[in-house]
Amino acid sequence: MRSDKEMEWKTLETKYLFKRNWLTAKVEKVELPDGRIYDEYYTLEYPTWINVIAITKDGKMILERQWRHGLKIVSTEIPAGVVEKGENPMDAAKRELQEETGFGGGTWTQFLVTAPNPSAMNNLCYTYLAEGVELVSDTHLDATEDLEVFFRDKDEVYEMLRSGQFCQALMLAPLWKFFATRT
């Protein structure tokens, strides 16, 4: 087996196509380990993402439904968001849970780290397990957020998962892990 270093691509040139707060696109000229050169390899830079498997003091899982314009669907999800510049992922997860649902407190554990698409994206998604959370404030949604918060027993969420009611891959992975390891 080759070492990681032997498999590494060399970046020869980088050109940024556009830079925005939530998305940056660039094209790179790269050299592969065998010497081949690709003049146009496109990648996207995103901030770090988080999501939260949140369980209330009475054992209910917190879920959300919201419009997702990329697929043009209403998506059932766990609370999620973006890590702000200078913020650590756990603090972002706590902030996002409270902003989106009004829930906070409890015991928090880093549960899973995934790479959304390592072939073309540079970011990671951190999933936290928040157990014993309770209502601590009103919600404070972002300008484009219009979501419904609802609660389900773990058995109901498992059936929702099995029946395909979740479609977001970065939420499917931690939910499947949760049910494989916690129940």
Q: What is the pLDDT of residue 1?
A: 96
Structure tokens at 35: 């010497």
pLDDT in tens, 137-155: 888 877 777 899 999 999 9
Q: What percent of the chain has pLDDT over 90?
A: 92
What is the crossing angle of helices 169-182 and 154-162, to 10°? 130
Identity of residue 141 = L
Of the listed ranges 19-23, 55-59, 118-122, the least confidently predicted one is 19-23
Q: What is the pLDDT of residue 63?
A: 99
Q: What is the pLDDT of residue 104?
A: 98
Torsion angle, alpha carbons of 70, 75, 78, 80, to 10: 20
Say whether pLDDT at 93 is over 90: yes
Average pLDDT over residues 161-174: 97
Residue 102 DSSP symbol: S
**Could you tell me the pLDDT band of residue 18, with boundaries at 50, 70 and 90?**
very high
Say whether pLDDT at 23 is over 70: yes
Of 100, 108, 111, nearest in space to 135 by CA: 100
What domains can be seen in the chain, in order of their start residue?
4-45 (no CATH), 49-182 (3.90.79.10)
Average pLDDT over residues 91-101: 97
Helix (H) or strand (E) holding 40: strand 37-45
* pTM of the shown model: 0.93
Distance separating alpha carbons of residues 161 and 155, to the nearest angstrom:
10
Q: What is the pLDDT of residue 21?
A: 85
Distance separating alpha carbons of residues 16 and 40, to the nearest angstrom:
12
Average pLDDT over residues 164-169: 96
Q: What is the pLDDT of residue 183?
A: 61
Say whether pLDDT at 132 is over 70: yes
Match 């959300």 to its residue by tokens. Answer: 64
Q: What is the pLDDT of residue 182?
A: 81
Strand-strand pairing, 49-56 and 125-135: parallel
Q: What is the pLDDT of residue 170?
A: 96
